[in-house]
Amino acid sequence: MTAEDLLSIPDDDMRHELVKGELLTMTPPKREHARVVANLIFILATYVKAKNLGEIWADSGFKLESNPDTVIGPDVSFYAKDRLANLSDAYVSGPPDLAIEVRSPGDRRGKVQRKSTMWLDFGIRSLWLVNPAKRTVEVCHADGQRKLFHESDELVDDTVPGFSVRVSSIFE
């Protein structure tokens, strides 16, 4: 399957991604997952818009490679203002600056690790792995640095310049 084929799949309320030409279909997120994603979007979008830093997107697909095609989408992404020119309405080529993946209760450790590795291998600046069950956020940078933030911590990531948030507010 190609990225163009993926674009033509009828809306069936499922989530679809393409990894090396293979279609992956996932069930829609459950309430807790969706609530945490909504919190993240609100917190980040409020900050990013006020500072005119770029855009926050939900469930947007990014085409990371061709022949065979890989198109994956994080739960939330940040795309810096200086990279927004000349983007198409289809899948964006290459990764966003920041991808945020919110872990669902059914996500297996191997699946999360594979997707994390994929994001980092394709040049993302940073990746947040949000775990609602443990109320933590792990920030992984392209240079290999990783930091685990707990509920009482202030999350800071220079991928979104000047941004910080108390981790607990992500889960409220």
The residues spanned by each domain of the chain are 29-170
Residue range 17-27: average pLDDT?
A: 89
**Which CATH fold topology does 29-170 show?**
tt1808, chain A (3.90.1570)
- What pLDDT sits at residue 25? 87
Residue range 16-21: average pLDDT?
A: 91
Two tokens, residue 133: 């069950």
Residue range 148-152: average pLDDT?
A: 97
What is the sign, positive or negative, of the torsion defined by CA atoms of 115, 71, 53, 49?
A: negative
For residues 88 and 24, which has the higher predicted lDDT (pLDDT)? 24
pLDDT-derived band of residue 82, with 50, 70 and 90 as boundaries? very high
- What pLDDT sits at residue 57? 95
Residue range 163-167: average pLDDT?
A: 97
Instruction: Quote the CA–CA distance of 17 and 7 in Å, as a whole number.
Output: 10
Q: Are 122 and 95 in contact (CB under 8 A)?
A: yes
Q: Is 80 exceeded by the pLDDT of residue 1?
A: yes
- What pLDDT sits at residue 89? 73
Q: Is 80 exceeded by the pLDDT of residue 76?
A: yes
Instruction: Quote the CA–CA distance of 108 and 1 in Å, as a whole number.
Output: 25
Instruction: Quote the CA–CA distance of 37 and 59 in Å, as a whole number.
Output: 10
pLDDT-above-70 percentage for the chain: 100
pTM: 0.92
- What's the pLDDT tens digit per position in 84-140? 987 877 889 999 999 999 988 777 777 778 888 899 999 999 999 999 999 999 999
- What pLDDT sits at residue 36? 96
pLDDT-above-90 percentage for the chain: 69
Q: Is 80 exceeded by the pLDDT of residue 164?
A: yes
* DSSP label of 10: P
- What pLDDT sits at residue 96? 95
Residue range 77-83: average pLDDT?
A: 95
